[in-house]
Amino acid sequence: MSMLTRRRLLSRAALSATAGATGTGLRVGGTAATAAVSGGLATGCDADTDPDTDPTGGPQGNLRFPTGFSWGAATSAYQVEGATKEDGRGESVWDTFSRTPGRTRNGDTGDIAADHYHRYADDLDLMRDLGLGSYRFSISWPRIQPDGTGTPNQRGLDFYRRLVDGLHERGISPMATLFHWDLPQTLQDAGGWENRDTAYRFAEYAEVLFRGLGDRVPVWLTINEPKTVVQNGYLHGHHAPGFQDPQAAYLVAHHLQLAHGLAVETLRATDSTARIGPALNLHPCYPADDSAEAAGASHLYDGYENRLYLDSILKGSYPADVLADLGPGSRMARGIRDGDLKTISAPIDLLAVQYYTPYYVTGTGGTVTRWPTSQADWQQIYPDGMYDILTRVTRDYGPVPLTVTENGLPQADTLSPDGTVDDAGRISFLRDHMAAAHRAVTDGVPLESYHVWSLLDNFEWAEGYDQRWGLVYVDYPTQRRVPKRSALWYREVIRANGL
């Protein structure tokens, strides 16, 4: 059975069913990757405390990040904005998907979400009070082009202009993602990402934004996690558009990356000085045991998880093992045209890395759970994976500037009667992952910023509002914002530029 077929059978739910199935004696992941990255890049910060040997298990206030390191938080349009029917916004695939019975937990939709569309000014004040240096948000394509093409909707553009201006007024740098999964439904009806034409529509949409906001957005991210669209949207079907079609999935992988490359080329064709790059969720993959089979399966798994997106964008070729596994007759292989990889590998200015969990791969290509999981049962809590993935990218792909644009933990947070939210688990998660990022910087990784997922509790896709990922608690019935203990802790991290 090819890896592709096996992967089709896996889902986040199935992965979670493996929790606890781990026998003893699994190799501790990451130890192989702890060597300093190649190139001997200068140490960029002080490391007075080694978090690995700190008896309390946490940093003691003397891990400083380099001067100029930026601290931020992230959200995405459909997850926080609400106002899905206002000011000329069109429908997106997530409107359709979440309104379809049985697709999301409790039938939740993003219709109201955190009501950020109306409350953005207060949210901007919250960000200022936290001391954020950077805010990563996404732009809703159907607000800008309700049907995914043609004349832009001025009211949509105005919203993002107000948001971006408000960030600048508060000294916060905007980082805008062009696409965080809310494809206009009209484009989906015309074939969505299976249709090569969607990549060209995306470049047009990107140009509208570069022209409309380019003078005030210094960093653009193209596509958020193409892999999640591929795997969740087209393999497992638990994200929009909800298909289970492996052949379509990898054609979509190609078209998403083509769209990324076309947007990069489009930016270069304007006179903008803004920087641009993709936002990739990367997963360190480790063999689950010492067998040769596990090593081989883990390597191929890494191909599907990481190299399929990294090699194409940073090396200009798709990984041969993945292409071979898909087969020469696959829809993806047949969809690659001359020049596509040149476009996909158009030079980027920075690479956005999103890290949540590692994978441990068995000899038969399955996975096992090695570490405690969070409320999101697919997430194993493994801070060293942050170090491993950051150093690996630098080692294998050279010193491309990196930003962490997502890292975080969901909890069933509750608002206590005294009006506080005590999320100690999130603090220890963030502290350990930041310490791992610091170690990567110390070892020469050119990491320039870090963003917590998420600023606010929000609509967590198929999980609806059940999982709370925010630094700031959202009381949905009243939409009141309450900074959690982690937010107050993060404010001190930002103030100290370290842990």
Catalytic residues: 225, 406
Q: How far is the CB of 52 from ligand FCB (least distance, A)?
A: 27
Residue closer to ligand FCB by CB (options 47, 80) is 80
According to DSSP, the residues that pair with 13 across neighbouring strands are none
- Pair 90, 145: CB distance under 8 Å: yes
Burial 282-313 (b: 16+ CB within 10 A, else e): bbbbbbbbeeeebbebbebbbbbbbbbbbbbb
Residue closer to ligand FCB by CB (options 391, 467) is 467
Binding mask 228-267 for ligand FCB (x = CB under 6 A): x---------------------------------------
- DSSP for 428-462, please give it: HHHHHHHHHHHHHHHTT--EEEEEEE-SB----GG
Contact residue for ligand FCB among 81, 115, 225, 432 (CB under 6 A):
225
Residue closer to ligand FCB by CB (options 65, 382) is 382
- Pair 361, 294: CB distance under 8 Å: yes
- Count of residues near ligand FCB by CB under 6 A: 11
- The DSSP letter of residue 72 is E
**Cα 223 versus chain centre, distance:** 9
Instruction: Count the neighbouring beta carbons within 10 Å of the beta carbon of residue 419.
Output: 9
- Pair 231, 310: CB distance under 8 Å: no
- Asked whether position 384 contacts ligand FCB by CB under 6 A, the answer is no
Q: How far is the CB of 342 from ligand FCB (least distance, A)?
A: 28
Length of the chain: 499
Contact residue for ligand FCB among 224, 266, 343, 407 (CB under 6 A):
224
Binding mask 50-89 for ligand FCB (x = CB under 6 A): --------------------------x--x----------
- The DSSP letter of residue 234 is I
- Asked whether position 460 contacts ligand FCB by CB under 6 A, the answer is yes
Contact residue for ligand FCB among 302, 384, 406, 423 (CB under 6 A):
406
> What's the start-to-end Cα distance of the chain, in Å?
47
Contact residue for ligand FCB among 70, 281, 369, 486 (CB under 6 A):
281
- Pair 213, 164: CB distance under 8 Å: yes
- Asked whether position 359 contacts ligand FCB by CB under 6 A, the answer is no
Residue closer to ligand FCB by CB (options 470, 498) is 470
- Asked whether position 91 contacts ligand FCB by CB under 6 A, the answer is no
- Is the torsion defined by CA of 78, 400, 312, 438 positive or negative? negative
Sequence-distant (≥ 6) Cβ neighbours of residue 450 within 8 angstroms = 69, 70, 71, 72, 403, 404, 407, 434, 437
Binding mask 291-320 for ligand FCB (x = CB under 6 A): ------------------------------
Q: Segment near ligand FCB (CB under 6 A), from 37-45, 112-120, 223-231, 288-296?
A: 223-231
Tell me how far apart the alpha carbons of residues 206 and 24 are, in angstroms, rounded to a whole number: 50
Point out which residues bind ligand FCB (CB under 6 A): 76, 79, 224-225, 228, 281, 406, 453, 460-461, 469
